[in-house]
Chain A
Amino acid sequence: MEKTLDTFKVGEKGIIVAVNGEGVTRRRLFDMGVTPGASVFLRKKAPLGDPIEVTIRNYELTLRKSEAKNVVMKVEGE
């Protein structure tokens, strides 16, 4: 099943299928290692539910839900 990263629950894992969006945000995502094929683990959400914290390429990355919306994921184990 494919869904965007902002809809992930804490503890969910998946593989990046595509990165949408444009300009600075998209480039920044690429530069931080958010590229297709990388596996992502949703570690936690901020106390107010947004932004989110994920583990990618062996480090912790934080991004807003509005930015995570651009990241299309394939949920692991399905």
Chain B
Amino acid sequence: MIKVALAGNPNCGKTTLFNGLTGSTAHVGNWPGVTVDKKEGVYKKGSEPIDIVDLPGIYSLSPYTPEEVISRNFIIDEKPDCVINLVDATNLERNLYLTTQILEMDVPVVVALNMMDVLDKNKDKIDVELLSKNLGVPVVPISALKEDNLKQLMEVVTQYAKTPRKGSSILINTSVGPIIKKVKESLDKNGLDNSLFHAVKLVEEDSIEKNNHPREYQLVVEAKGDIKDSVFGNDFEAIIADNRYKYIQNHYSIALTKHKEANIDEKTGKKKRFANETKSDRIDRVLTNRFLGLIIFVVILFFIFHFTFGEDLFYLNAMGVFGDSEYAIAAGTPWEGIIFAGGTGIQSPGVFLQTCLVGFTDWITELVGTGMSSAGASNWAQALVCDGLLAGVFSVLSFLPQILLLFLFFSILEDTGYMARVAFILDRIFRRFGVSGRAFMPMIMGFGCSVPAMTNTRTLATEKERIATIRVIPFFSCSAKLPILTACAGAIITMFNVSNADIITLGMYFTGIVVAIIAILVMRNTTLRGETPPFIMELPAYHWPKFSSLMLHVWDKCKHFIKKAFTIILVSNIIIWFLQSFTPDWQYIEYADGEFLGSFTTDDSILAQIGKVIQPLFTPLGFGSQLGQFGWVFAVGAITGLIAKENVIATFGMLGAALSAAGAVDPSTLPSTIASIEGASDVGLMVAATGINVPGILAFIVFNMTTIPCFAAVATAKAELKKGTLKGTLLFWIVTSYIASSIFYIVGTWWWTVFIYLGIAILAIVLIYLINKKKDQNAKILKA
């Protein structure tokens, strides 16, 4: 089978072409060692099947980004039969810059000239034959979006893939030509493939080549004395880049004839008011407007979240349109509770889909339960399947609709070109923290769900920036952590008669953001130190995304999530279920409908024993040994929260029943107002049983917000992080949550300790500053 690589700039329509050629045969994997998507598929419509590998979008074959290194290594090592170089015809000069480098490799190349439809619309013309003659390889004009001429392209590829080609360089007749020839000859003696490419890169002082061919690099160093360019002296990197662009202008760009009267209004014959202005420019004038830009961005963000998580889509409930009665217009119909949320508002599509899915999975669980009991299965086996296996997987799957919608919105923003503008608008703010404006979107998505947020860090430029961003994403409190917040806040206001619940909730969200900022600052100055990555990027023209491409993309992402739910998450869930449902001597703890049926309660479970052992660890956080006999409940809540954060309050519910049954606490002593707030009475029982103070509860919230996130997020982090960095990340989450919540407890209980913390912080800042200064000096000395 012919193997073909697809190469080209970002935003030149490569994904569209790839999808158009391979259709349903495409599958997405990872390039080994890095988290860059590797797409592979088969073209079947030609005389023989062609295997197509989509290389990452790149501007150059420099050694600086993983995408560029992947691409050059693939062509050099895997030796595809042909490279299709996709070139955006509306942006010839910059696109052909990559072409001049690919042409230096020993591989057949076919240039596919994309966006011919746009070019025709602008009435611009390209002399394809002239371009093909000057490039020395076939050029096929296509439109990936309209799927024009794809068949012809693949015919040319099939035919051309069988003729071997030697690399050629436009640099041979320039001032660096002689030294390139000399290095190439030396490399040829070793029988090296792609010798011309290696030679050019060596002269360019490419770091990868310098390490691989130190002997030939000596030749380059020697030549530095002999060759002097009139403008650049012996700066070879600059000479080569300059010559490439000059050659493109003189030999290739001449193939393009621009429509002369583009700026003239066709009706009036007068010059247009905004000469040269495209549709994209007009959109941009509004979206990145100096005054409106930030506001529009906030509005778009609000709509995305409202659409995904809102329970009152049109604010009908808030406005009291249907009065007070629940499900006013749907009462008694099957729509009750599905379209209409808790009150009388209409649910957003995200919540609607989630309700449907949960209804469906509950039905399956029930069906399996009844099936098993009528088949005579024992109670514990039934509970293992229903409560352990199914409930665990389904609780993770219940987030799928909202994750899917978030992915979809994010993809739309990315594909239309708006995401690049968001980075443009926000870079100034984020640079202060050592990350680029691109890091903002994944972080803000963390408020919805960490899973899509972590996956979308792939747009970040450097590995260090990605690690730092992935680590702080859980601190942006996700939708599953909200119940912890509202339940705990509810318990605080009713049981301690303190301030407004909204202030506590908002304050906790804000705390998460502050912790994230501090953590990023600390990481970027210590373990993940490195220059702020360059922010030199293209702002692609706005365009409508293609529906089929969007769906393919979203489906790929969801597939990964579902796979994880049924593997790593499933196993973890079963383990926790076991710990929770059995006593240390393997007696099953029966629990149904909020009551314990046997003589054991959760108090006797293995998990409770573990909780009692680790209880002292939480003493500095206010929910440890100082709480006495039942203080372990908070430790257990924190452990079950690892599966999914909504388990924390659910666990409190179970423990509350256990404690009441044991006579440790009496539910009737709780204030009557507590029942109106969801989950608050569960927390209230814990408070009554343990006598925890307010700073302790706050510390517990902060701990859950900043510690190791749910299994789904950990699994995603594992997939997205470079191998071996997951351990450090888990440690980072534990340490951060420990520090943050201990501050809440200790300062909240003994206010004067704030000075001790301030002292430590100042000391740490001074130390980091001094150490970094020393490091910089050493680096300078080394360089000199």
Contact = CB atoms under 8 A, between A and B. Distances in A.
Interface string B416-441: 00001000110111010000000000
A61 B535 CA distance: 10
Nearest to B60: A31
B425 A47 contact: yes
A25 B237 CA distance: 13
Interface string B47-83: 0000000000001101010000000000000000000
Interface in B90-107: 90-94, 97
Given A37-B242, A47-B425, A59-B91, A67 B535 contact: yes
A51 B537 CA distance: 11
B62 A33 contact: no
Interface string B522-540: 0000000000001111111
B179 to A, nearest CB: 19
B212 to A, nearest CB: 19
Nearest to A64: B535
B238 interface: yes
B93 A62 contact: no
B534 A35 contact: no
Contacts of B189: none
B409 interface: no
B288 interface: yes
B291 A47 contact: yes
Nearest to B431: A64
Given A47-B291, A63-B536, A30 B428 contact: no
A58 to B, nearest CB: 6
A25 B424 contact: no
B238 A32 contact: no
User: Max chain A CB contacts within 10 Å: which of B64, B241, B293?
Assistant: B241
A15 to B, nearest CB: 13
A59 B97 CA distance: 14
Interface in B287-344: 288-291, 293-294
B59 A48 contact: no
A9 interface: no
Contacts of B59: 31-32
B427 A50 contact: yes
A30 B241 contact: yes
Interface string A34-67: 1111100000111111110100011111111001
A46 B540 CA distance: 16
A4 to B, nearest CB: 15
A59 B94 contact: yes
Interface string B576-612: 0000000000000000000000000000000000000
A74 to B, nearest CB: 14
B64 A36 contact: no
Interface in B191-215: none
Contacts of A31: 59-60, 62, 97, 241
A20 to B, nearest CB: 10
B677 to A, nearest CB: 40
Nearest to A41: B276
A46 B537 CA distance: 14
Chain B interface: which size bin?
35 or more
User: Max chain B CB contacts within 10 Å: which of A19, A25, A26, A62?
Assistant: A62
Nearest to B61: A31
Given A28-B64, A31-B59, A57-B93, A67 B534 contact: yes
Contact of A28 (B245, B291, B431, B536): B536
B238 A58 contact: no
A24 interface: yes
A62 B64 CA distance: 19
A69 to B, nearest CB: 13
B639 to A, nearest CB: 44
A59 B538 CA distance: 8
User: Max chain B CB contacts within 10 Å: which of A25, A36, A57?
Assistant: A57
Given A32-B59, A33-B94, A47-B293, A61 B537 contact: yes
Interface in B479-497: none
Contacts of A57: 91, 93-94, 245
Contact of A62 (B94, B242, B245, B539): B539
B246 interface: yes
Contacts of A63: 534-537
User: Max chain B CB contacts within 10 Å: which of A34, A37, A58?
Assistant: A58
B231 interface: yes
B728 to A, nearest CB: 25
Interface in B15-72: 59-60, 62, 64
Contacts of B294: 47
A26 B288 CA distance: 27
A67 B291 CA distance: 24
Given A46-B288, A57-B94, A32 B536 contact: yes
Contacts of A29: 536
Nearest to A45: B290
A60 B237 contact: no
Contacts of B62: 27-28, 31
B425 A46 contact: yes
Contact of B424 (A30, A32, A46, A59): A46
A53 B285 CA distance: 12
Nearest to B243: A35
Contacts of A26: 237
Nearest to A25: B534
B291 A51 contact: no
B429 A48 contact: yes
Nearest to B63: A27
A39 B549 CA distance: 36
A64 to B, nearest CB: 5
A25 B424 CA distance: 17
A58 B91 contact: yes
Nearest to B62: A27
Contacts of B91: 57-59
A25 B93 CA distance: 20
B93 A33 contact: yes
Contacts of A46: 288, 293, 424-425, 427-428
A32 B538 contact: yes
A47 B425 CA distance: 6
Contacts of A33: 93-94, 97, 245
Contacts of A59: 91, 94, 538
Contact of A47 (B60, B92, B245, B288): B288
Interface of B: 59-60, 62, 64, 90-94, 97, 231, 237-238, 241-242, 245-246, 288-291, 293-294, 420, 424-425, 427-429, 431, 534-541
Given A27-B64, A32-B538, 8 more contacts: A25-B534, A25-B536, A30-B238, A30-B242, A35-B245, A45-B290, A48-B428, A64-B534
Interface of A: 19, 24-38, 44-51, 53, 57-64, 67
The 10 closest A-B pairs by CB, nearest first: A30-B241, A31-B60, A48-B428, A60-B539, A57-B93, A63-B536, A47-B293, A25-B534, A35-B242, A28-B536
6 contacts: A32-B538, A33-B245, A47-B425, A53-B539, A57-B94, A63-B536
